[in-house]
Amino acid sequence: MCNYKLMNKFLKEFKDRGFFYQCTNEEELSSLMDKEKIKAYIGFDCTAESLHVGSLLQIMCLRLLQKNGHRPIVLLGGGTTRIGDPSGKDKTRKILNEEEIEKNIKNIKNILKKFLDNDNPETKPIFVNNYTWLKNLNYISFLRDIGKHFTINRMLTFDSVKLRLDREQSLSYMEFNYMILQAYDFLELSKKENCVLQIGGSDQWGNIVNGVELIKRYSNKQSYGLTTPLITLATGAKMGKSENGAIWLDEKFLSAYDYWQFWRNTDDRDVVKFLKNFTDIEIEDIKKVENNNINDLKILLANKTTSMLHGNEAAKNSEQAAKEAFSGNSLGSSLPSVKVNSQNIDNKLDIIDLIILSKLEKSKSEIRRLIKGNAVKINDKVVSDEKLIIENEFFNENYLKLSIGKKRHIKIELD
RNA sequence: GGAGGGGUUCCAGAGCGGUCAAAUGGGGCGGGCUGUAAACCCGUUGACUUCGGUCUUCGAAAGUUCGAAUCUUUCCCCCUCCA
């Protein structure tokens, strides 16, 4: 532990914001970062087409690096995604094919660009794909040069491995090698980019330490690892994993309005923590407002997080739409909308089909259940007849408001 | 290669010939209370339905039976021990 007051500015804020979990050598890292601007990397898995809020803390770390003049390297795991990280997974991941991974990489890169400053030449992110070096590895020489630095004895002690074995779940040799490849990534970045720091989630600790040690042994250079805690909700659930779908960062999968809603619905106990974790508001400023009305804080949180990703405009619209949708008697003209061909109305479209068209639900049985439970509303009036035919009169100025439950609202527009 | 254990609905996990669309818990969804919070209470949780039912599901296929998640055979996969 080094003296908090003397600590490097980046590290200090890193801690103040609750990003800190473990560090391989805090004191040295602190003085190194005081002395020079460094390059640090975070790896992103490309298993999914988009990132979700589970990766947001890592993204905030990248932003914090930039804020302090350091340069982030974003490693997209095009190679390692082909293997699958066993950490934190109790089952073997499904293996994706080449095109899927390439597509995912492109998407994820675009999302990250939204969060990062791409203009400042000193700090703009360096994007790398580890497939570029992993694909050409020669097995024999890799084993000789890199493999010799790893002992099975030690690898077996890592949580990612141990957990699987303890739980009697299979761990393939392929996955077993994941940590070596990740260590190799760090070595590669150390050589190529002079990267000295890897940041990752706490579940990456083992992989990161391996990298630090490999670099030490291979090129006798000092590098560092820094991990962030796993963010759990006050209820104990993992962040961003709602059953109804993860909280995606890509607008294609989750509208700005729904993203805003996600933050607006934060548990009371998490609000201040999230303001620190997921907004740029200075710590001192958060302290000033942290006793304000809890719902105002939630709106603040929602606005900041949404504008960071989708822009100010989108955040304002979402706030406006929410106001209208929840105040009751307004028709929510700024809600996200779905267009419906007016011919459908003439053809006696019923409520069930309307909901299917709106994509709010896809199972007719489920919709029937919802109607029975008084969950479906048109223009704030409960629909109790599952055979209700949608009439032209329902549309005010070309649109109607369709609601499922208290929180899902959508505008149906005539086309 | 040998011996044993196992694969059940979103997850965990019961069922071991009909009463099984499958206990229980978790999660999800909806309703109530509230603050678009938490906690709590209630309902619901395969699909389709003219609400009478109909269809598809218990690793895969074939079989026994009036009837199978449950029995038999083969195959696939996982785990443990032995070689």
pLDDT of residue A310: 95
Strand B closer than 7 A to residue A405 Cβ:
yes
Residues A410 and A361 sit within 8 Å (Cβ to Cβ): no
Residue A369: CB less than 7 A from any atom in strand B: yes
DSSP state of A116: S
- ipTM, interface predicted TM-score of the complex: 0.88
DSSP string, A250-306: STTTS-HHHHHHHHHT--GGGHHHHHHHH----HHHHHHHTTS-HHHHHHHHHHHHH
- The spacing between the Cα labelled CA in A165 and the C1' in B78, in angstroms, equals 13
Residue A309's CB is within 10 A of a number of other CB atoms, namely: 20
pLDDT class of A95 with cuts at 50, 70, 90: low
Q: Is any atom of strand B within 7 angstroms of residue A391's beta carbon?
A: no
Segment among A28-37, A153-162, A260-269, A335-344 with least mean pLDDT = A153-162
- The mean pLDDT value of chain A amounts to 87
Is residue A269 exposed (0-12), middle (13-18) or buried (19+ Cβ within 10 Å)? exposed
Q: Contact at 8 Å (CB) between A265 and A291?
A: no
Q: Which nucleotides of B are covered by protein (CB under 7 A)?
A: 10, 27-32, 34-39, 43-49, 51, 78-80
Distance in Å from B56's C1' to A232's CA comes to 38
> Are A28 and A222 a contacting pair, CB within 8 Å?
yes
The integer distance in angstroms from the CA atom of A206 to the C1' atom of B65 is 57
Strand duo A71-76 + A126-129: pairing: parallel
B39 C1' to A141 CA distance, Å? 60
- Check pLDDT > 70 for residue A61: yes
Chain A residues 176-205 with Cβ under 7 Å of strand B are none
The string of pLDDT tens digits covering residues A146-200 is 999 998 888 877 777 776 666 556 677 777 788 889 999 999 999 999 999 999 9
pLDDT of residue A92: 46
Query: Is strand B in 7 Å reach of the CB of A296?
Result: no
Question: CA A273, CA A238: separation in Å to the nearest integer?
Answer: 15
Alpha-carbon distance values, A364 to A101, A355, A361, A371, A386 (Å): 34, 9, 8, 10, 10
With a 7 Å cutoff on the CB, does A294 touch strand B? yes
